[in-house]
Structure 1
Amino acid sequence: MSTPPLGRGRPTSAELEALPLAPPAATGLAEVVRRRYLLGMLVRNTIKSRYQGTVLGWVWSYLQPAIRFCMFYFLFQVMIGRGEGTIENFAIHLFAGMVIVHFFTETFNGGTQSLVQNRSLITKLPVPREMFPVARMLVAAWHTVPMLIILLIPCLFLGWRPDAVGMAAALLGFTLTAALGLALGLLFSVGNVFMRDIGKVAQTLTQFVTFSVPMMYPFTLVQERFGEPLASYYLLNPMAEAVLLIQRGFWTGTTSDPEATAAVHLPDHLFTRGLVMTGISLALLVLAQRVFSRLEARVPERL
């Protein structure tokens, strides 16, 4: 059976499906970095497809988080008065957590669906299949940048100024989230190929993230309600640690006394736990890469 000729432009879905299965490609995250040109093309195409057919295009990536911040500010800080007398600038506290949670959920959920959604490319092109979860992490990072800009505007208005410790905390929080999200994305993406229920499991797990981190409530509330022993178990959640780190980077600097705010509302040994959890997440990423490599050869036939 002869292979149908491809058109001069971008191949259609029918043309891709008619091609024979691609030969095995070199695998590994290092191979993804080596083929960064293809990775960049995949990221750009994914971003373009999200805004295809819209008039405002990428402006929506700024408009949506701006509207979301205004809604939370009006609802929680103006109408309900959440945080009055206890949490200064609660809207910043909340939105800072939303930024890191959004990055994680987009990386995790997008990575989980990445192989299934790109089945035509995976079965026809000899590319490292880790490229697709990595691309979804980069797309999530691209959409997180506008949220950070929206966060910075009220922070600067309230007197926030960058400091070395705060920036290190925010960077550590993003590193922890990226490593954890990509590791889970690799594991769940290959699992989702063999059993589609894995995608539903990922969506269910990410729903718990919003309520299991000190975002809509302060960490001190956990200490007051459950005591120190249970609060220490609460801090074993790496996403709770990531949220606290980014709050240290942005929210505390907007309060009238940043040092006092950090001492009261942030737990002790914040950086130590952040470094340990980042190390564990990187080790999990290495393990996820090995599991992915063992199973990825069977991915094209299952797709």
Structure 2
Amino acid sequence: MTLDDTQPVRVVQGGERRAASRPKLSPLDDARYRAPGDSRWLLDTFRYPHLLAMLLKKGTSTRYYGSVMGWGWSYVKPAMQFFMYFFIMGVVLGLTRGLELFPLYLLSGIVLINFYSEATRAATNSITGNAALIKKIYLPRELFPVSSVGSAFIHFLPQLVVLLAVSMMYGNFAFSWLAIVKVIVALAILLAFTLGLGLLFGALNVAYRDAKNIIDVFLMFAVWMSPVIYSHEMLRNVVPAWVYQVYMVNPVTVAVELFHEVFWAPIVSEPQIPDFALTNTIGGVGIALGTLLLGQVVFRKLEGDFAQNL
């Protein structure tokens, strides 16, 4: 038996030649092993699709567990909210006189505001609500806010179907590629903005439980901070120009106005489409992505202390 000349050798006493043993890699040096927390941020959620699917299933299946109506509440609650705003704002205060087909205008915004409020609140509470799991094992903590927003989006889909059906009942609504693109852009903006807020306040809520209360107060004004129950024209006449411009690039406002353009404007005779709609949309996209980046950075900065603070 001969030794390969290319292998390192060492000479021992008596002239015997032996192959030098190669140093073994420690598990910590092996590329297959990664330290807990050494993730690729939100991209890591796609490395655990089974866990994400389980959390989504939990969020959707247990929401109405033990309820007689079950998923029917996904229709009843927004319907009650719609009728309340329609009667008070439309009938009592007379806003219907300024907006043609006010019920459809109102419904187009209400469904988005409901999704935005529910998803932001759920994502903020997602880390503290899974404290027992986080303290026992490691998994990408971003999975919890992502699954919370995903579950809220699943419950939003029936409301979107109702909005589409009502819009088609009102008049000559027709599908178009531009309408589909506007709906996708509106939902993408709102998803990015909501997830960014969820990551930011979800992380802060672990160390400072005031974050949950801040979000609750903030969401109380959500329906008033976007043109849901009034037209953007009404605000432009009573606030400074720069306030109106900031208001119009608010990601929630951009998403609501895109929904108005798709589900309401094609049916009415004189729709109130905002000036510089494309510019506002680009600004909303930038703010939504900036919020998502900020939320992810803060989340990664604070997640090392999650188990300790929980």
Tell whether 2:270 aligns with 1:270: no
Select which of 151, 166, 172 maps to 1:154.
166
The equivalent of 2:294 in structure 1 is 287
Q: Is the 8 A contact 1:103 1:177 kept in 2?
A: no
**1:233 Cα offset (Å):** 3.5
Which has the larger displacement, 241-250 or 107-116? 241-250
Q: 1:222 to 1:45 in 2, by over 3 A?
A: same
Q: 1:68 to 1:149 in 2, by over 3 A?
A: farther
**1:281 Cα offset (Å):** 1.7
More helix by share: 1
TM-score by length of 1: 0.83
CA displacement, residues 43-100 of structure 1 (integer Å, 9 cap, x when unaligned): 111222211111222232233334444555555556665323x311111111111111
Structure 2 runs not aligned, ≥5 long? 1-34
Tell whether 2:163 aligns with 1:131: no
Q: Aligned partners of 2:290 and 2:247: how far apart in 1?
A: 21
Q: Is the 8 A contact 1:39 1:131 kept in 2?
A: yes
The equivalent of 2:70 in structure 1 is 57
**1:179 Cα offset (Å):** 0.6
Q: 1:227 to 1:285 in 2, by over 3 A?
A: closer
Select the structure of larger CA radius of gyration: 2
**1:110 Cα offset (Å):** 0.9
Supply the AA of the counterpart residue of 2:306: V
Q: 1:163 to 1:294 in 2, by over 3 A?
A: same
The equivalent of 2:262 in structure 1 is 249
Select which of 215, 218, 224 maps to 2:237.
224
Q: How does 1:191-206 map to 2 (within 5 A)?
A: 191-206=204-219
Select which of 124, 128, 132 maps to 1:112.
124
Sequence identity, in percent? 31
Q: How does 1:44-123 map to 2 (within 5 A)?
A: 44-73=57-86, 76-77=89-90, 81-84=94-97, 86-123=98-135
**Paired residue total:** 274
Which has the larger displacement, 66-75 or 178-187? 66-75
**1:26 Cα offset (Å):** 4.7
Tell whether 2:43 aligns with 1:30: yes
CA displacement, residues 95-152 of structure 1 (integer Å, 9 cap, x when unaligned): 1111111121122111111000110111113210000000111011011111111212
Q: Is the 8 A contact 2:105 2:260 kept in 1?
A: yes
Equivalent position SS for 2:68: coil
Supply the AA of the counterpart residue of 2:63: R
Supply the AA of the counterpart residue of 2:123: G
Which has the larger displacement, 138-147 or 227-236? 227-236
Q: Aligned partners of 2:222 and 2:166: how far apart in 1?
A: 25
Q: Is the 8 A contact 1:176 1:278 kept in 2?
A: yes
Q: Is the 8 A contact 2:127 2:206 kept in 1?
A: yes
Tell whether 2:190 aligns with 1:177: yes
Equivalent position SS for 1:216: coil
Q: Is the 8 A contact 1:65 1:146 kept in 2?
A: no
Equivalent position SS for 1:83: helix
Q: 1:227 to 1:112 in 2, by over 3 A?
A: closer
Supply the AA of the counterpart residue of 2:145: P
**1:32 Cα offset (Å):** 0.7
Q: Aligned partners of 2:301 and 2:236: how far apart in 1?
A: 43
CA displacement, residues 148-168 of structure 1 (integer Å, 9 cap, x when unaligned): 112122211112222333332
Q: How does 1:12-23 map to 2 (within 5 A)?
A: none
Q: Is the 8 A contact 1:215 1:243 kept in 2?
A: yes
Tell whether 2:56 aligns with 1:43: yes
Q: Is the 8 A contact 1:65 1:150 kept in 2?
A: no
